Amino acid sequence: MAATKKTGTKKKTDPKPAASQKPAPLPSHRVEVRLAGSGGQGLILAGLVLAEACGLYDGREVAMVQSYGPEARGGASKAEVIVSEEPIDYPLASRVDILLALTQEAADTYGWDLAPDAWILVDEDLVGHPPTTRAVKLPFTAVARDKLKKPMVANVVALGAIAELTGLVSKRALEKALMARVPKGTEQLNKKALSTGARLAREYQERGTTPPPPPSAADL
Amino acid sequence: MAATKKTGTKKKTDPKPAASQKPAPLPSHRVEVRLAGSGGQGLILAGLVLAEACGLYDGREVAMVQSYGPEARGGASKAEVIVSEEPIDYPLASRVDILLALTQEAADTYGWDLAPDAWILVDEDLVGHPPTTRAVKLPFTAVARDKLKKPMVANVVALGAIAELTGLVSKRALEKALMARVPKGTEQLNKKALSTGARLAREYQERGTTPPPPPSAADL
């Protein structure tokens, strides 16, 4: 218990107090993020990186849940990250604010309990039929495969797009958390994947698309 | 969609169906595991490996939760893994069956909501005062540092000891999950860390120590 107090002290003497680099305010008090796809698409790692970026570097409270079962190998899998300005008592998503779906199966399985104004990002080529027509379709996997020559970084491309579009996490925090989790020797590739995702998102915004409109009857 | 279906097919034609290598029965219907220490001790990775071993390779239902907050950097951190024979509706630990504590602070902070017959594993050198006198004290960090020359694999040494002592996860599953998550080039080191942990546990058992006795008034 004494140790807990010590940490409190350490925090105060941190040479880079959170206040000086405070990230943009969260879009709402509590933001629920779900990263969904199939096993092997690296969504657990993406969730870890996002959680650590928000929790360790942006100074938010974060909880992450993922589950595995006999059906998980190859089937739809997901990681959920809750980000809040206050301690989180319930770490499960119940009204998802940001959904990333990298496969059609994931979009079908995990695309139903969304907030009316949720951000829905889907892989343009792998999700032919997104949960709603206002989903943001971006070619995460194609860009990772064709431009970066590493299909496995589609998860990081998607993280870059999420950060750019939603403002959930600061770019600095995301890059720091990413560098701490990726294998040695892949730092440059992963940084490039992150900035490529951000560029995809900016190009999407420049095409004149505005943030998700309020829900219409057609969405419900 | 094609990819998802293909993977589904692959699962059915898997040359080693789960049934033929069914792991030992769980000690109880639902087992709650908490891995606690300080940030940087690799407990999130250890949790992932344990969760994936139980869920993807041993065919159990598994949920994992971890949380981060402004206090997490350097402070007490934890990952919780719930393993069950049936789908898990509540993924949080409420009565921990297996606690690993790698620091005194973690033992103090996370050592209070244990099952009466919980396994309590603590680092012999870093936890001077375990939550109860019947804790299993093993030199995870010292062995990783002195014998394996890599202090950072103390987490894997501990996983090996947990598997050996508690029977929660098959060794085959644990090794497969570990190999899938560790950086390339460190496979042999990590396999050795796992077997070293198992040996520490066997030596503990050979010293004539029996499984945790039923709780006595002194523990409560």
Model confidence pLDDT, tens digit, residues A87-121? 888 888 999 999 999 999 999 999 889 999 999 99
B115's CB contacts (< 8 A; 6+ apart) are B32, B95, B96, B97
Average pLDDT in the A160-167 region?
Answer: 97
Q: Please check whether residue A147 is in contact with residue A141, taking contact to mean a CB–CB distance below 8 angstroms.
A: no
With b for 16 or more beta-carbon neighbours within 10 A and e for fewer, the B119-140 pattern comes to bbbbbbebbeebbbebbbebbb
AA identity, residue B63: A
* Number of CB pairs, chain A paired with chain B, less than 8 A apart: 130
Helix (H) or strand (E) holding B6: helix B2-12
Q: Are B4 and A52 within 8 A, CB to CB?
A: no
**pLDDT above 80: residue B175:** yes
**What are the structural domain ranges in chain B?**
28-210
Residue B191 CB coordination number (10 Å): 16
**Chain B hits for A109, Cβ within 8 Å:** none
Q: Of the candidates B67, B75, B91, which has its C-beta nearest A88's C-beta? A: B67
Q: Of the candidates B88, B105, B109, which has its C-beta nearest A67's C-beta? A: B88
Nearest to A66 by CA among B62, B49, B87: B62
In the structure, what pLDDT confidence band is assigned to residue B25 with cuts at 50, 70 and 90? confident
- Packing angle between helix A171-181 and helix A187-206, nearest 10 degrees? 150
What's residue B33's pLDDT? Answer: 98
**Chain B residues bordering chain A (beta-carbon distance below 8 Å):** 1, 3-4, 7-8, 10-11, 18, 39, 44, 48, 51-52, 54-56, 59-76, 87-88, 91-92, 103-105, 108-109, 183-184
In the structure, what pLDDT confidence band is assigned to residue A67 with cuts at 50, 70 and 90? confident
Report the 3 state secondary structure along A128-146.
Answer: CCCCCCCCEEECHHHHHHH
Nearest to A182 by CA among A69, A15, A45, A63: A45
Rounded to 5 degrees, what are φ and ψ at B44?
-65, -45
What's residue A77's pLDDT? Answer: 81
**Chain A hits for B75, Cβ within 8 Å:** 4, 7, 10
DSSP helix/strand/coil, A124: coil
Q: Closest approach of chain B CAs to the CA of A175, in angstroms?
A: 17
In the structure, what pLDDT confidence band is assigned to residue B8 with cuts at 50, 70 and 90? very low
pLDDT tens per residue, range A174-202: 999 999 999 889 999 999 999 999 999 99
B192's CB contacts (< 8 A; 6+ apart) are B148
Q: Are B88 and A103 within 8 A, CB to CB?
A: no
How far does Cα B100 stand from its chain's mean position?
7
Q: Which fold has domain B28-210?
A: Pyruvate-ferredoxin Oxidoreductase; domain 3 (3.40.920)
**Chain B hits for A37, Cβ within 8 Å:** none
**ipTM value > 0.90:** no
In the structure, what pLDDT confidence band is assigned to residue B215 with cuts at 50, 70 and 90? low
Has this prediction a pTM greater than 0.80? yes
In the structure, what pLDDT confidence band is assigned to residue B87 with cuts at 50, 70 and 90? confident
Q: Are B56 and A44 within 8 A, CB to CB?
A: no
Q: Are A1 and B39 within 8 A, CB to CB?
A: no
**What size, in residues, is chain B?**
220
**Chain A residues bordering chain B (beta-carbon distance below 8 Å):** 1, 3-4, 7-8, 10-11, 18, 38-39, 44, 48, 51-52, 54-56, 59-70, 72-76, 87-88, 91-92, 103-105, 126, 128, 183-184
Q: Are B63 and A67 within 8 A, CB to CB?
A: yes
DSSP helix/strand/coil, A92: coil
What's residue A213's pLDDT? Answer: 54
Q: Please check whether residue A191 is in contact with residue A199, taking contact to mean a CB–CB distance below 8 angstroms.
A: no
Kindly identify which residue of chain B lies nearest to residue A47, measuring between CA atoms.
Answer: B66
Q: Please check whether residue B165 is in contact with residue B205, taking contact to mean a CB–CB distance below 8 angstroms.
A: yes
Kindly identify which residue of chain A lies nearest to residue B103, measuring between CA atoms.
Answer: A3
